[in-house]
Homo-oligomer: A and B are copies of this chain.
Amino acid sequence: MPKPGTRLRLIDVAERAGVSLATASRSLAGREGVSEEVADRVRQVARELGYVANPYARTLAGGASSTVGLVVHQIDDPYFAEIASGVIEIAAEEGLLVQICHSGRDPDAELRQLRHLIAQRVGIILIAGSGYNDPRVEAEARAELSEFQSQGGRVAVIGRHALGVDAVLPDNEAGSRALAGHLLDLGHRHIAIAAGKEGLTTITDRIAGVSSALHQCGLSLDNIPIVHSDFTRGGGRMAAEQILSDHPETTAIIALNDAMAMGVLSTLRAHHIPVPEQMSVVGFDDVSVAADLAPSLTTIRLPMTDMGRMALSLALKPRSARPRRRPTGHLLVVRDSTGPAPSR
């Protein structure tokens, strides 16, 4: 009977199994150099006693840390919440702990969080969310991560390519090309873009996709207004207001994520502009509410939960010679927020 306040230690298991501490450790870690019978017996005893290793002692003694640090812009953004959900799921299967921290779309905060996680000796770092166009920021993050990796840490990122690590890459460009193509097919020629703040690579990539689709129609990005605002519902509302006042000829708005699209829809409703009869709206991501909006949102589906799962799975594999890249694929989901361009 352990003293109250004292939890089961490995030595207790070892004694009960009639082996040494070292053997017990090897057995539970599934390492070589223990006969099958002994190893089995130890595991058996450990299970019976309900032994759980002390992760602090384990990590301190040099074993790899079993915690994964997940950096997201903001956990209450559904995009990141769904990614986190996937990460947590895999982590639970693997017996890993997930530490979540916020970067708040601030490159310096992100760097701070990164350093903090490294100082905390997490074993795996996952970074979700757009990269920054600022090369200095990316370089610093890259240096930090490469140092971390050289000490045995594992890293994977979601949605950024400039970090030289394993990456899950959303189909930003192809997705928005499909989105713009869909609107062009419907006859829209006065398209406006509600974009997030400049400086995020996600924005850049998604705009590039639109550009590419426009070119195929002999149009150019130069002809269409791009309004930069926050990458949030509030930002969408602001962008929509500006588009309505400055570009009244607009018949379709491409919001570069679903959050902005929701803001756009909200503003159009306030202005009594029927969607899609008078204005088509598209989003990007297909967060789970997108289907339940009124009108339901035409958007690009990204498998966010899967992306979280994929990222952690990548990080769980041994590091490869060159960074792996896992494109996510995408799917144009046509719903009720888009329709033919109004004849004018």
Contact = CB atoms under 8 A, between A and B. Distances in A.
A318 to B, nearest CB: 18
Given A60-B54, A76-B288, A151 B88 contact: no
A76 B102 CA distance: 16
A97 interface: yes
Interface string A14-45: 00000000000000000000000000000000
A305 B76 contact: yes
Contact of A116 (B52, B84, B263, B294): B52
A266 B293 CA distance: 8
A150 interface: yes
Number of copies: 2
A289 B305 contact: no
Contacts of A116: 52
B102 A100 contact: no
A81 B289 CA distance: 14
Interface residue tally on A, bucketed by range: 35 or more
B233 A262 contact: no
Chief secondary structure at chain A's binding surface: helix
B305 A292 contact: no
Contact of A233 (B54, B82, B288): B288
A305 B77 CA distance: 13
A6 to B, nearest CB: 9
A299 interface: no
A56 B60 contact: yes
Given A82-B76, A101-B88, A289 B269 contact: no
Nearest to A99: B97
A269 B294 contact: yes
A55 B97 CA distance: 15
Contacts of A52: 116, 119-120
A269 B67 CA distance: 45
Contact of A76 (B84, B120, B263): B84
Interface string A281-319: 000000011011111000000000100000000000000
Given A60-B60, A98-B101, A293-B293, A84 B75 contact: yes
Contact of A56 (B56, B263, B295): B56
Nearest to A113: B92
Contacts of A101: 88, 92, 97-98
Given A59-B56, A233-B292, A262-B292, A5 B151 contact: yes
A306 to B, nearest CB: 13
A78 interface: yes
Interface string A65-85: 101000000111110011011
Given A54-B121, A92-B101, A97-B120, 13 more contacts: A56-B56, A56-B60, A56-B65, A67-B99, A76-B81, A76-B288, A81-B81, A88-B101, A92-B102, A97-B99, A99-B99, A233-B288, A263-B292
9 contacts: A55-B56, A60-B60, A67-B99, A75-B75, A76-B305, A78-B78, A84-B100, A88-B100, A265-B292
Q: Which 5 pairs from chain A and chain B are nearest by CB? A: A52-B119, A294-B294, A76-B85, A76-B81, A56-B56
